[in-house]
Amino acid sequence: MSRIAVIGAGAWGTSLSIVLARNGTHQVRLWAYEEEVRRSVESCRENALFMPGAVIPASVCVTNSLAEALDGASIVVGVMPSHHARNLYRQMKPYLRMSEVIGTVLAAEPYGFSPRLGALSGPSFALEVAKGDPTAVTIASDDDELTHVVQREFSDPNFRVYRHHDLIGVELGGSLKNIIAIAAGVIDGLGLGHNTVAALITRGLAEMTRLVVACGGQAETMAGLAGLGDLVLTCTGSLSRNRSVGVELGKGRKLNEIIRSMHGMVAEGVLTTDAAVGLARKYQLEMPITEQTYALLHEGKSPREAIHELMTRPFTTE
């Protein structure tokens, strides 16, 4: 029986723990930063803070000790918010061996060894995964053996894992789609229709693809689960936190007020937008939706002004 450590007990970490515990062949340890999450799981087998109502199997052991979570783990799944990844992996380093590391690392640093890294991504709302709704995702790595291991260990009749080799593309796709989802929410908050959302998704995918290719990924990746699939879900699904932020922006609420009302839930697109704008400038790419979303979030631009600027840009080919 393999031992798997899940580092991060938000909605996605909780749902992955449930998936891994379902088939009965794994010892799952879930590391939770929040003490209230640990107490909730131990007392009533529920993550009342981030995923109320989802039953966490008794075989999932929750802990707030990284040493305990990582002890003897053959697979480590990092599902912390990307802006916490660097610090957490630094803390995890003393407990990891070279052959044990699998994670979604968006801000990696040299650790003194060469970890085996993969990125798991795709259209997958955590609540629906936990419920057992049929879901398909992809695991990407340049380590072919690793993708086969993850595909075998994570898959069950309700959770299908595909293999992919484009780690850069899958990682970036899973991050960049959150920016477009915020913009899609703005459209809904303004009361605009399906034409506008369809155009946004299509042109947003084009922006994502340009940046992925510039960073060394492959354009074809953006046509798959970690690109188009995840983008459509996040832009249209009511469970999307990033889309929800955009909806409230479209209704005229201020970003700080929206973030406070989320009670600790993370909408990663808010921070990702800043990083994406920086990368676009570095590679001299046009990413007008991303730039206007940044202006909405961080410069106080009005939603209707942003849309007007997008629609009146100089004409070009598709």
CATH number for position 56:
3.40.50.720
* Domain contains 318: no
220: in domain: yes
Residue 271 lies in a domain: yes
Q: How much is the pLDDT for 60?
A: 97
Determine the longest span between alpha carbons in the chain, in angstroms. 60
Q: Quick one: pLDDT at residue 102? A: 37
Reported as a single tens digit per residue, the pLDDT across 21-80 is 998 889 999 999 999 999 999 999 999 999 999 999 999 999 999 999 999 998 999 998
pLDDT for 246 beyond 50: yes
Q: Which of 141, 165, 189 is the last residue of a domain?
A: 165
Same domain, 54 and 146: yes
* Residue 292: inside a domain: yes
Contacts of 293 (CB under 8 A, 6+ apart): 179, 180, 182, 183, 186, 269, 273, 306
Does the pTM of the predicted model rise above 0.75? yes
In the predicted model, what is the mean pLDDT of residues 165-192? 96
How many domains is the chain built from?
2
Cβ atoms of 78 and 45 within 8 Å: the answer is: no
pLDDT band, very low/low/confident/very high, at 264 (cuts 50, 70, 90) = low
Q: Does some domain include residue 317?
A: no
Residue with tokens 């991303």: 290
The two three-digit tokens of residue 136, written as one number:
């398909």
Is there a contact between 171 and 106 (Cβ–Cβ < 8 Å)? yes
- Out of 177, 254, 282, 301, pick the active-site residue: 177
The reply to whether 178 and 88 lie within a common domain is no
Query: Which has more confidence, 25 or 233?
Result: 233
Tell me how many degrees the CA angle 225-83-212 measures, rounded to the nearest 5. 40
177: annotated active-site residue? yes
Judge if 123 and 176 occupy the same domain.
Answer: no
User: Does some domain include residue 49?
Assistant: yes
Asked if residue 183 and residue 296 are part of one domain, the reply reads yes
Same domain, 181 and 95: no
Under the banding of pLDDT at 50, 70 and 90, the label for residue 107 is: very low
Last residue of a domain, one of 165, 197, 231: 165
Last residue of a domain, one of 165, 200, 233: 165
Tokens representing residue 302 in the block: 């009005």
Spell out where 113-169 has E strands.
119-121, 135-140, 159-164
Calpha distance 30→16 (Å, rounded):
10
Residue 129 sits in the same domain as residue 221: no
Q: 103 near 89, Cβ under 8 Å?
A: yes
- Degrees, nearest 5: CA angle 111-113-118: 85
Does some domain include residue 213? yes
The type of residue at 43 is S
Whole-Å CA distances, 182 to 82, 101, 222, 278: 17, 32, 19, 18
Statement to judge: residues 154 and 172 lie in one domain: no
- Let me know whether 106 and 218 are in one domain: no
In DSSP terms, 173 is beta-bridged to none
Q: What gap in Å lies between CA 190 and CA 205, rounded to an integer?
A: 22
Specify whether 114 is located in the same domain as 196: no
The residue type found at 58 is A
Q: CA-CA distances (angstroms) from residue 244 to 63, 188, 225, 234, 239?
A: 31, 9, 22, 10, 8
Strand duo 119-121 + 135-140: pairing: antiparallel
The CATH number assigned to the domain holding 213 equals 1.10.1040.10
Q: Are residues 146 and 262 in the same domain?
A: no
Look up the domain containing 281 and give its range: 168-311
Compute the distance between CA of residue 280 and CA of residue 294 in angstroms, rounded to an integer. Answer: 12
pLDDT given for residue 317 in this prediction: 93
For residue 175, with 0-12 CB atoms within 10 Å meaning exposed, 13-18 middle and 19 or more buried, which class applies?
buried
**Does 87 fall in a domain?**
yes
Assess whether 129 and 17 both reside in one domain.
yes
Residues in Cβ contact with 238 at an 8 Å cutoff, skipping those fewer than 6 apart? 244
Nearest of 57, 53, 48, 64 to residue 26 by alpha carbon: 57
Same domain, 109 and 173: no
